[in-house]
């Protein structure tokens, strides 16, 4: 029997299961970002959940996306399966097979700390992490014990970061973040992208103690960020930019501790041989280096019933190559203060992101729930600081934005 829950939508389903329950829910988003130009986008995100049996279901998310991120009123339309996976669950374990978005990092919006999900940089940090994570095709196996769990991920055809093109509002302008080369093709330069290695493997074990938890894990697989080489195939032809996503090993460990009513979180990722871009007098190259990513965060209920979150990230390469494109050490600290009003219908959030280049992003965002179905976001974002900085590179992108979400 087939049960369609959502009114007005009938779905045909061929299934061997005896019974199935289908839930379809939608989220329609319209966003208008006011700057020197107007930037709109409309997206429809449909979630699908099919309860095939008591132990088995299928979940998916489809996104239809329309935006003019490529320039003034140049609409770009995209349809994308964000997630689609089948779950088989028993009492103590489950297996999820398909395209999924998995987040491992204990930190909020600190992209370098996320090992599993690649990210879409088209809207940079203006969007929440959940909206920019890119789904991956994988087998996801979880084993649950009373106070611990174990996860094994086998990623097939891993995704890599989606970087905005040169004429995008959020094109990377800082040379060190452009991996030392124009990362998108220009008229004179053709580009060739190496296919990342077919399989990535990751596993993590988490244990919960009284008052704190600890997790440790590893991942081996293709890098999300590229390195590049210029290849001259024919002397008469312009050189080809050859992008590579070299595999590397990462070990991760994280913990969270509660001290009184304050929560402290810390996370360390160690990569002994990650590949980084080098640039010697315009000769692009790469070099394997040892990388440490260390992040710490504190959450607490601040004065006047506010919620405060502060984070610090240190991204360090132990013995950097002399011509390495990026800095040997990069630091980012963030501060978020939010407060809810009117029975949580209204949320005001202030966020500040600062990198070591003294550049910053300051955001102030107000979210108001009109009804259970309709919410609006109003906000301003101000980038400033060094043009070479993570945030300062977007200088000129200061904007006020208005966003409306309708759930149905």
Q: Could you tell me the smallest distance in angstroms from the CB atom of residue 34 to other proteins?
A: 16
CA–CA separation, 202 vs 289, rounded Å?
21
Range in contact with other proteins (rule: CB under 8 A) among 29-37, 170-178, 232-240, 252-260:
252-260
Chain centre to alpha carbon of residue 404: 21
Contacts 24+ apart (CB under 8 A), 64-67: 65/41, 66/41, 66/42, 67/39, 67/40, 67/41, 67/42, 67/43
| 76 touching other proteins, by CB under 8 A | no
Separation of first and last alpha carbons in the chain: 24
CA–CA separation, 16 vs 341, rounded Å?
49
One-letter-per-residue 3-state SS of 239-277: CEEEEECCEEEEEEEEEEEEECCEEEEEEEEEEEEEEEE
Please check whether residue 284 is in contact with residue 81, taking contact to mean a CB–CB distance below 8 angstroms.
no
Binding-site size for other proteins (CB under 8 A) equals 77
- The encoded tokens of residue 339 equal 């407060």
Q: Could you tell me the smallest distance in angstroms from the CB atom of residue 282 to other proteins?
A: 24
Site for other proteins in 323-342 (CB under 8 A): 327-329, 331, 333, 335, 340, 342
Which residue of 230, 268, 298, 404 would you call a contact of other proteins, by CB under 8 A? 298
Torsions phi, psi of 365, nearest 5?
-135, 135
Q: Could you tell me the smallest distance in angstroms from the CB atom of residue 38 to other proteins?
A: 20
Q: Could you tell me the smallest distance in angstroms from the CB atom of residue 304 to other proteins?
A: 9
DSSP state string for 165-204: PTTSTT---SGGGGTTS-SS-BTTBEEEEPPPPSEEEEEE
Which residue of 84, 89, 191, 366 would you call a contact of other proteins, by CB under 8 A? 89
Q: Could you tell me the smallest distance in angstroms from the CB atom of residue 383 to other proteins?
A: 10
Site for other proteins in 5-44 (CB under 8 A): 25, 27
Of the two residues 27 and 288, which places its CB atom closer to other proteins in the complex? Answer: 27
Of the two residues 86 and 407, which places its CB atom closer to other proteins in the complex? Answer: 407
Torsions phi, psi of 167, nearest 5?
-95, 10
Report the DSSP pairing between strands 360-369 and 374-384: antiparallel
Of the two residues 240 and 323, which places its CB atom closer to other proteins in the complex? Answer: 323
| Helix (H), strand (E) at residue 130 | helix 129-132
Of the two residues 215 and 229, which places its CB atom closer to other proteins in the complex? Answer: 215
| 371 touching other proteins, by CB under 8 A | yes
Q: Could you tell me the smallest distance in angstroms from the CB atom of residue 195 to other proteins?
A: 27
Which residue of 72, 188, 236, 260 would you call a contact of other proteins, by CB under 8 A? 260
Q: Could you tell me the smallest distance in angstroms from the CB atom of residue 261 to other proteins?
A: 4
Which residue of 31, 100, 229, 254 would you call a contact of other proteins, by CB under 8 A? 100
Site for other proteins in 168-207 (CB under 8 A): 206
- The encoded tokens of residue 126 equal 């203006």
Which residue of 63, 178, 265, 286 would you call a contact of other proteins, by CB under 8 A? 265
Which residue of 111, 123, 129, 324 would you call a contact of other proteins, by CB under 8 A? 129
Of the two residues 205 and 240, which places its CB atom closer to other proteins in the complex? Answer: 205
């Amino acid at each position: 029997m087939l049960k369609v829950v959502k009114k007005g939508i009938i779905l045909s389903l061929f299934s061997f299961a005896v019974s199935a329950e289908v839930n379809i829910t939608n989220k329609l988003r319209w966003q208008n970002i006011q700057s020197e130009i107007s930037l709109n986008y409309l997206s429809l995100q449909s979630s699908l959940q099919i309860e095939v049996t008591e132990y088995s279901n299928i979940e998916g998310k489809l996104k239809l996306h329309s935006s003019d991120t490529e320039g003034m009123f140049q609409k770009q339309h995209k349809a994308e399966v964000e997630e689609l996976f089948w779950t088989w669950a028993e009492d103590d374990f489950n297996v999820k097979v398909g395209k999924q978005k998995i987040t491992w990092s204990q930190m909020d919006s600190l992209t370098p700390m996320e090992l599993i999900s690649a990210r879409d940089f088209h809207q940079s940090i203006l969007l929440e992490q959940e909206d920019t994570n890119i789904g991956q095709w994988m087998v996801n196996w979880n084993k649950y014990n009373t106070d611990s769990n174990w996860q094994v991920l086998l990623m097939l055809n891993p995704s890599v970061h989606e970087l905005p093109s040169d004429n995008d509002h959020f094109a990377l302008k800082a040379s060190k973040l452009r991996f030392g080369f124009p990362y998108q093709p220009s008229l004179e330069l053709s580009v060739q992208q190496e296919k990342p290695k077919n399989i990535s493997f990751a596993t993590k074990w988490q244990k919960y103690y009284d008052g704190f938890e600890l997790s440790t894990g590893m991942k081996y697989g293709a890098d999300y960020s590229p390195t590049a080489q210029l290849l001259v195939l024919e002397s008469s032809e312009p050189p080809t930019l050859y992008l590579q996503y070299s595999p590397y090993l990462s070990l991760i460990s994280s913990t969270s501790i509660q001290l009184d009513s304050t929560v402290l979180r810390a996370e360390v990722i160690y990569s002994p041989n990650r590949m980084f871009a080098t640039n010697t007098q315009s000769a692009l190259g790469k070099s394997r280096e040892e990388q440490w990513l260390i992040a710490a965060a504190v959450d607490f209920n601040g004065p006047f019933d506010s919620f405060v979150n502060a984070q610090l990230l240190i991204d360090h390469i132990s013995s950097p190559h002399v011509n390495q494109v990026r800095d040997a050490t990069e630091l980012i600290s963030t501060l978020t203060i939010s407060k809810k009003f009117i029975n949580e219908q209204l949320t005001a959030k202030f966020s500040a992101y600062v990198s070591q280049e003294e550049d910053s992003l300051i955001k102030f965002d107000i979210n108001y729930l009109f009804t259970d179905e309709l919410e609006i976001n109003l906000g301003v974002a101000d980038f400033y600081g060094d043009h070479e900085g993570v945030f300062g590179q977007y200088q000129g992108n200061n904007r006020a934005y208005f966003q409306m979400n309708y759930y149905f």
